[in-house]
Structure 1
Amino acid sequence: MSKDHQDLSPVDRAILRIVQRDASCRLDEIAEEAGASIATIQRRLRQLRENGVIDGETVLVNPQSVGQGMTFLILVELERERIDILDAFRRKMAAEPHIQQCYYITGEADFALIALAEDMDAYQALIQRLLFDDKNVKRFRTSVVMDRSKVSLNVAV
């Protein structure tokens, strides 16, 4: 099976909907809801993981409960867009624990970042280290998230 959506069976799609909702769901619960045997669910989950349809499994942590009460959307424009410079920026963002998401985008900015910080002082220190000290960052704009109305990485299947 490939990553192509046409290759996903109705059982695969049911499994994906269930585990996106709750990755800790037991096999017997998935089997009952998906209308398949436990053995089928085990086999299909293994294949979905091996084929890269399921990229990983994670736990959602409430940022405020661990002192990361502020969320920021940062649009970054780089001076140059050579592949080595783009890759270096991607690696730096991937290595930074306060950057939750990093997207290479089209339009006026080159990257869109979702960042977390304890407060404005912590955010200032973060952007100083990541953006102001980077000679290839031409400019960036920040929006402070006022309300986390929906937070999800779920994919409609």
Structure 2
Amino acid sequence: MPRKTPLDSFDRAILRIVQRDAKTPQRQIAEAVNLSAAAVQRRIAAMEAAGIIERNVAIVDARAVAMGITAIVEVTLINERTHTVDHAKALFEAAPEVQQCYYVTGGISFVLVIVSADMATYEATTRRLFSTNESVASFRSLIALDRVKTGAEIEIPFLPTP
């Protein structure tokens, strides 16, 4: 259900807060944005119903759960036909190791972020997703040395004052 009205300054302020911590109490959000807790609750529910807030998740430190390898992988398909692309999208979306997947332009087809416990596990993942996949022409792995910044917070600009 697409939202009919654009986000106002209250919605934007609420989004800035819940992106940092979705468990922030609504009364605390209400105080920060100068609304009642009930108004904040209605606005959050409306943004969820409209798909602006897609879901509430916990961001887990991969190292804390023994997933020490993070790889950024460039994947080039054999062609960009709809069937080939759709098959790859479905495969990558279903793979639990794939944390992020982007269908991109610029000479490659996809950029993936993959986490694995170790290099042996990562190699098994690359064999399953790429090496034995006849739709994949090539892939290139970039292994992260350090996680400098992770997360999905989007900067929500303030509305200009009229």
Partner of 2:149: 150
Partner of 2:68: 69
Report SS of the residue matched to 1:7.
coil
1:32 aligns with 2:36: no
Give me the whole-angstrom Cα distance separating, in 1, the residues matched to 2:48 and 2:78.
38
Work out the CA distance in 1 between the residues paired with 2:86 and 2:152.
Answer: 23
Which 5+ residue runs of structure 2 have no aligned equivalent?
A: 157-162
> How far off is 1:141 after superposition?
0.6
Give the corresponding residue for 2:56: 57
Matches for 1:72-91 after TM superposition, within 5 Å: 72-91=71-90
Distance in 2 of aligned mates of 1:3 and 1:91: 28
Q: Which ranges in structure 1 are unaligned for 5 or more consecutive residues?
A: none
TM-score by length of 2: 0.92
1:2 CA drift (Å): 4.7
- Report if aligned partners of 2:59, 2:151 keep a CA contact under 8 Å in 1: no
SS in 2 for 1:123: helix
TM superposition shift of 1:82: 1.1
Q: Deviations over 1:62-86 (max 9, x none)?
A: 1011110110000000002111111
1:3 deviates by 5.4
What SS class does the counterpart of residue 46 from structure 2 fall into? helix
Q: Which residue of 2 aligns with 1:12?
A: 11
Question: What secondary structure is seen at the aligned counterpart in 1 of 2:114?
Answer: strand
Q: In structure 2, how many angstroms separate the alpha carbons of the residues matched to 1:3 and 1:43?
A: 14
Q: Which residue of 2 aligns with 1:47?
A: 46
1:126 alignment partner, SS class: helix
Moved over 4 A (4+): 1-4
What is the aligned-residue identity percentage? 36
**Which residue in 2 is equivalent to 1:22?**
21
- Measure the CA separation in 1 of the matches of 2:136 and 2:65: 30
TM-score calculated relative to the size of structure 1: 0.95
Give the whole-Å Cα distance in 1 for the aligned partners of 2:9 and 2:2.
15
